[in-house]
């Protein structure tokens, strides 16, 4: 029986690239993470051999990378050699294998997040400055002098008034 590729999802973060090999009830799992590639192999519940070899877009720190196995998949946390550099794709070559997809559920456009956050903090600080600035009380010279402010409001509900 020929080897097949495991369906693989990936997403990018400032320090790591995450890959999830989607194989339920996997056995004989082997993950080899090197500075320029990853080699993954296992057998699925039906005994079919799965094999993926991916040449990375850029160099990674294989010593600070790891994998975690669950009942539904094997997730690899691959540490980038150059942090805060976005990867436009996972593979070295500009190819799109049918078994490799972006994990849009976890994807986040993190480039520029710091700038957006800084702008929000500056805006918030500006609002606080405006609110906390002590200003003189408003002039009340435009009020009607005949207005009786001590009189009870006549806007109350008729059902709540006491009968006289």
Tens digits of residue pLDDT in 4-34: 999 999 999 999 999 999 999 999 999 999 9
Average pLDDT over residues 122-126: 68
Instruction: Report if pTM > 0.85.
Output: no
Per-residue pLDDT, 107? 82
Per-residue pLDDT, 156? 47
User: CB neighbours (10 Å) of residue 20?
Assistant: 20
Tokens read off for 91 = 């593979």
Higher pLDDT, 41 or 143: 41
The gap between the terminal CA atoms of the chain, to the nearest Å, is 98
Tokens read off for 162 = 């006491």
Per-residue pLDDT, 164? 47
Per-residue pLDDT, 21? 98
Tens digits of residue pLDDT in 67-85: 999 989 999 999 999 999 9
Report how far residue 102's alpha carbon sits from residue 88's, in angstroms, rounded to the nearest whole number. Answer: 10
Higher pLDDT, 36 or 108: 36
Domain boundaries 7-113, corresponding CATH code: 2.60.40.790
Give every strand in the sheet of 37-43, ordered side by side.
27-33, 37-43, 49-55
């Amino acid at each position: 029986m020929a080897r097949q590729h495991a369906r693989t999802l990936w997403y990018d973060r400032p320090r790591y690239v995450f890959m999830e090999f989607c194989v339920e009830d996997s056995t004989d799992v082997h993950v080899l993470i090197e500075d320029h590639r990853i080699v993954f192999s296992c057998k699925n519940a039906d005994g079919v051999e799965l094999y993926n070899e991916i040449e990375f877009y850029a160099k990674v720190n294989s010593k600070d990378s790891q994998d975690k196995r669950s009942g539904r998949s094997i997730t690899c946390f691959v540490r980038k050699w150059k942090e805060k550099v976005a990867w436009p794709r996972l593979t070295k070559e500009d190819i799109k294998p049918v078994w490799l997809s972006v994990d849009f559920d976890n994807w986040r456009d993190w480039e520029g997040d710091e700038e957006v956050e800084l702008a929000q903090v500056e805006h918030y600080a500006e609002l606080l400055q405006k609110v906390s600035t002590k200003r003189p009380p408003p002039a009340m010279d435009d009020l009607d002098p005949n207005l009786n402010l001590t009189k009870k409001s006549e806007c109350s509900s008729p059902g709540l008034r006491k009968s006289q």
